[in-house]
């Protein structure tokens, strides 16, 4: 993996999100080459046409509401370019990635991680 650097999501980009605030055991779905799991309280997110879930605690720490149902990611992330194909564990499951994709961490301690294709990452994030 290349050296991790700090980035922030572009200020003009938002997501549409709704909290899974139902009496449910959650559900599983297939995405990013693996089985993902969400639970009551997690968020269903549409990010520029891509839909996925985000752990409730991660969402609360990373997003702020800008209008009803619309949220902006705030703060910094740490990211590095993957040198080899692999799988990164996430709070929802695991994400497969290819060499050249970005491994992104919501915290500097390499926790709360996910993978993003280089095309999407470079269009949505900017260096700090």
Per the structure, the complete domain to which residue 16 belongs is given by 5-127
Tell me the pLDDT tens digit for each residue of 63-108.
Answer: 999 999 999 999 999 999 999 999 999 999 999 999 999 999 998 7
Tens-digit pLDDT profile for residues 10-31: 999 999 999 999 999 999 999 9
Task: Tally the domains of the chain.
Answer: 1
Task: Provide CB contacts within 8 A for 120, sequence distance 6+.
Answer: 48, 50
């Amino acid at each position: 993996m290349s050296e991790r650097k700090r980035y922030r999501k572009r200020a003009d980009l938002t997501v549409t999100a709704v909290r899974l605030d139902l009496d449910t055991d959650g559900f599983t779905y297939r995405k990013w080459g693996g089985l993902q799991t969400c639970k009551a309280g997690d968020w269903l997110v549409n990010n520029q046409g891509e839909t996925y879930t985000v752990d409730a605690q991660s969402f609360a720490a990373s997003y702020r509401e800008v209008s009803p149902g619309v949220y902006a990611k705030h703060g910094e992330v740490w990211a590095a370019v993957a040198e080899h194909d692999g799988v990164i564990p996430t709070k929802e499951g695991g994400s497969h990635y290819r060499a050249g994709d970005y491994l992104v961490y919501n915290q500097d301690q390499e926790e709360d991680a996910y993978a993003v294709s280089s095309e999407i990452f470079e269009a949505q994030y900017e260096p700090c």
